[in-house]
Chain A
Amino acid sequence: MQSKAADTRKEMSQGRLALIFSAPAVLIIAATILAPFLMAVFLSLHNWNLKRPGRERFIGLENYTDWLTDSDFWQPLQTTFTFAVGAVLVIVIVALLVALLLNEKFPGRGVLRALLLVPWAIPSVVNALLWKWLLNPQYGLFNAIWFELGIITEYQNVLGSMPSVMIWLVIAYSWIHIPLATLLLLSGLQTIPGDIYESAIVDGAGIFQRFAYITLPMLRSMLSIVIIFEMIFALKVFDIIFVLTAGGPADATNVLGWTIYTETFRKLDFGAGSSIAMLLGVITLGMAILFYVILDKGVEQ
C-alpha cells in the first residue's frame, strides 16, 4: 500500500512538472491559435462589417447559407481544386522521379541533394517575384528561350490568359514545394532493403516491374503522407496569388484563399470572410480525412 501511495505522489509531481514545463508553449498556442479560432467561429455567426459599424448582430448560419447558395463560393472552390490537384500531381510526380534519381549511387549525389534546399529556402513571396520576372511578357527568360528555339514567333503573356496562367501558377508554386517532397520520398526509398531488388533481378524482373511491384508498394505510406500534406498546403494557397496574379485575369485564379482575403480585408466584411474561411477549413480537413482513408485502405490491401 505504501509503495502505491509513493507512486501516486510521484506521478502527481510528474504531472505538475509537465504542466509547469509546457505552460509557456501552451499559453502561446492558446493565445494565438485557440482564442482566435473560437473568435473566428463567433464572427462567422454574426453580421460584422467594418464599413457599417454599430450593426453587428447574431445571424446564426446565414453567412454560411449565403455562401453555399452563391456562385462566388462555388466558382473559387472549383478553381481551388483545379489548382490543388494540378499542384499535388506535379509535385508528387516530379519529386518521385527526382527521389529515384537521387537514390542511385553516383559521385555528386550529395551536392545535388544539398542544392535542393535552394528552392526550398526561398520564401513564397520571393518565389512569386522570381516567376513574375521569368514569365515577363516583354523580357522574360522563358519567352526568350521559346523564341530562340522557334517555338513561338512572338512573345507571349502567359499570365494573361487561361489556361496558361493556371499551368504556370502550378509550376511556379510547385518549384519551391518539390524539394521537401523529394527529401521525404528519398528517405522512404532508402528504407527499402537492397536485397529485395537483387532477388527480383535474379527472378528476371525488369526495371519497370521492379518499380511497380517493389518500389511503389513499399513507398506507399510515405507517398500517402506527402500527398496529404501537399493537398493541405495547396488548398490554402495565398501568397503566390497575391504577388503573381491577384486572382486574375478575370477571376481565372481566384482561389478561396484570395476570396477570403478580398472579402475580409478589402470589403471589410469580417463576418462573411470568417464564414468562408471556416468552410475552407472544413473542406481541407475533409479532404485530409478522405485521402487518409483511401490511401490507408490501399496500404492494407
Chain B
Amino acid sequence: MHQHSRLRLAIIYFCATLLLIGTVGPFLWLVSSSFQYERQLLNRPPQWLPNPVVFDSYREIFEGAVLGEESGVPYQSRIFLGSFGNSFAIAGSVALIAVVVGSLAAYPLARLNFRGRSVLLFGILASRLIPALSLAIPIVLVAKQIGMSDRLITLVFINLSFVLPYVIWLLQSYFKTIPMELEDAGRIDGCSRLQVVIKIILPLARPGLTSAAILAFLVAWGEFLFALLLSETPASYTSTVVVSLFATDVDVSFVSIITAGVVSVIPPIVFALIFQRYIISGLLSGSLKG
C-alpha cells in the first residue's frame, strides 16, 4: 500500500510538472525575452534567462510616450502608454457601471415576484447568443454617422452590453443566497426597497460584487473587435489595438513587440492572481469570459 501511494504521488507530480510548464511556460518565455537584447533573442540555441537583464524596451515605451517623435522609438511604442491608459479608463468604467446597473437589475430578478420575470432573465441572457461580428456592422455604420466613433465612451457602452448579462446572472444568483429575514427586518424598520438594496443586500453581497467587477474588467480589457473598428486616431486606441498593430508590423524589433505584449497583460494577470478566489467562484456560478 505504501509503495502504491508513492508511485501515485510520483505519477501525479510528473503530470503536475508538465501542466505547470504548459500553463505558465509560454508566458514566462515572453517575459524572459522582453528583458534581452534584440541580438540575444536571435541566438541559437536560445538564451533561457536574460543575461544581462536589459530594460531598454521598457524604457522605450516611457520615453516614447513622453518625448513623442523626438525619442526616435517606433510609432507603436510612442502610442502604447496612452492606449494602456485608455484600456484602464474603459475597463474601469465598465466594471464600475456594470456592478451598479447590474445590481439594480439583479435585485428584482432575485427577490421580486412580477409577471415577465423569466422573460426578462431569458431575454437578457439570450442577447449574448447574437455573434458580435453581426452587431459590429450596424454599430460601426451608425457610430460614424452620429459622431460616436473614435470615442472611449462608445466602447464603454458596447463592453457594458457584453458583460451585463453575465453580471446580472451572477449577482441575481448571489443575492438569492442572502437570507430573506435580514431584508424583512430592514423593511419593518421602514427602509424603502432602494435602501434595502444599498444598506443590506449590497454590503452582504460584497464577494459577489467583487467577482462581477473583476470579470467585467477583464472582459473589457481584452476586447478587440470593437476597439479595432471604432478607433480612428491613436488617441482612442486601446492596448489590444496597439498590440495588434505591433504584431502585424514586420519592421518593428521583436523586443519592442514582446514588451508591449508583456506590459499589456500585467493588469489582467495581477488581478487574476490576487482575486483568484473571487474569479473562480464567479466563473463557476455561470459567468464566462469568452
The number of residue pairs between A and B whose CB atoms lie closer than 8 Å in the complex comes to 259
Q: Given A106-B16, A236-B131, check contact A121 B265 (CB 8 Å).
A: yes
Give the interface segment out of B50-58, B202-210, B266-274.
B266-274
Decide if B104 touches A22 in the complex (CB within 8 Å). Answer: yes
Decide if A18 touches B114 in the complex (CB within 8 Å). Answer: yes
Give the interface segment out of A81-89, A138-146, A196-204, A212-220.
A138-146
In-complex Cβ contact of B279 among A18, A35, A117 (8 A): A117
The CA of A129 and the CA of B242, in the complex, are separated in Å by 11
Q: In the complex, what residues of A have CB within 8 A of residue B41's CB?
A: 139
CB distance from B114 to the nearest CB of A (A): 4
Q: In the complex, what residues of A have CB within 8 A of residue B254's CB?
A: 133, 136, 139
Decide if A118 touches B24 in the complex (CB within 8 Å). Answer: yes
Confirm or deny: B200 has a beta carbon within 8 angstroms of a beta carbon on chain A. Answer: no
Confirm or deny: B177 has a beta carbon within 8 angstroms of a beta carbon on chain A. Answer: no
Decide if B27 touches A183 in the complex (CB within 8 Å). Answer: no
Q: In the complex, what residues of A have CB within 8 A of residue B153's CB?
A: none
Decide if B135 touches A115 in the complex (CB within 8 Å). Answer: no
Q: In the complex, what residues of A have CB within 8 A of residue B105's CB?
A: 21-22, 24-26
Q: In the complex, what residues of A have CB within 8 A of residue B225's CB?
A: 238-239
Q: In the complex, what residues of A have CB within 8 A of residue B265's CB?
A: 121-123, 126
Q: Mark A248-289, 1 if CB is under 8 A from B, else 0.
A: 000000000100110011000010011001101100110010
The CA of A125 and the CA of B138, in the complex, are separated in Å by 23
In-complex Cβ contact of B15 among A101, A134, A285 (8 A): A101
Decide if B269 touches A118 in the complex (CB within 8 Å). Answer: yes
Decide if A98 touches B19 in the complex (CB within 8 Å). Answer: yes
Confirm or deny: B179 has a beta carbon within 8 angstroms of a beta carbon on chain A. Answer: no
The CA of A122 and the CA of B272, in the complex, are separated in Å by 10
- A1-56 residues with Cβ-Cβ distance < 8 A to B are 11, 14-15, 17-18, 21-22, 24-26, 28-29, 31-37, 39-40, 42-43
Q: Mark A124-168, 1 if CB is under 8 A from B, else 0.
A: 111011111110101101001001100000000000000000000
Q: Given A14-B113, A36-B135, A238-B133, check contact A144 B46 (CB 8 Å).
A: yes
Confirm or deny: A243 has a beta carbon within 8 angstroms of a beta carbon on chain B. Answer: yes
CB distance from A56 to the nearest CB of B (A): 11
Q: How large is the interface on B (under 10, 10 to 19, 20 to 34, 35 or more residues)?
A: 35 or more
Q: In the complex, what residues of B have CB within 8 A of residue A21's CB?
A: 104-105, 107-108, 193
Decide if A128 touches B276 in the complex (CB within 8 Å). Answer: no
In-complex Cβ contact of B129 among A119, A147, A285 (8 A): A285
CB distance from B95 to the nearest CB of A (A): 14
Q: Mark B120-151, 1 if CB is under 8 A from A, else 0.
A: 10001001011111111111111000000000
Confirm or deny: B30 has a beta carbon within 8 angstroms of a beta carbon on chain A. Answer: yes
Interface size on A, residues (CB 8 A): 87
CB distance from A94 to the nearest CB of B (A): 9
Decide if B141 touches A270 in the complex (CB within 8 Å). Answer: yes
Q: In the complex, what residues of B have CB within 8 A of residue A33's CB?
A: 127, 130, 135, 161
The CA of A103 and the CA of B140, in the complex, are separated in Å by 46
Decide if A123 touches B221 in the complex (CB within 8 Å). Answer: yes
In-complex Cβ contact of B138 among A43, A134, A179, A246 (8 A): A43
Decide if A29 touches B108 in the complex (CB within 8 Å). Answer: no
Confirm or deny: B66 has a beta carbon within 8 angstroms of a beta carbon on chain A. Answer: no
The CA of A125 and the CA of B229, in the complex, are separated in Å by 14
Q: Given A14-B114, A22-B105, A119-B23, check contact A281 B131 (CB 8 Å).
A: yes
Decide if A277 touches B124 in the complex (CB within 8 Å). Answer: no
Q: Given A233-B290, A280-B131, check contact A25 B104 (CB 8 Å).
A: yes
Q: Given A106-B12, A119-B27, check contact A126 B264 (CB 8 Å).
A: yes
Q: Mark B15-54, 1 if CB is under 8 A from A, else 0.
A: 1100110011011011001000000011011100000000
Decide if B272 touches A117 in the complex (CB within 8 Å). Answer: yes
Decide if A246 touches B221 in the complex (CB within 8 Å). Answer: no
Confirm or deny: A294 has a beta carbon within 8 angstroms of a beta carbon on chain B. Answer: no
CB distance from B136 to the nearest CB of A (A): 8
Q: In the complex, what residues of B have CB within 8 A of residue A11's CB?
A: 113-115
The CA of A17 and the CA of B115, in the complex, are separated in Å by 12
Q: Mark B150-190, 1 if CB is under 8 A from A, else 0.
A: 00000001101100110010000000000000000000000
Can you list 20 contacts pairing A with B, beta carbon distance less than 8 Å?
A15-B116, A21-B193, A25-B101, A25-B102, A26-B120, A28-B157, A33-B127, A35-B138, A40-B134, A98-B19, A101-B19, A112-B23, A118-B272, A122-B269, A123-B221, A125-B240, A139-B41, A144-B44, A180-B288, A246-B248
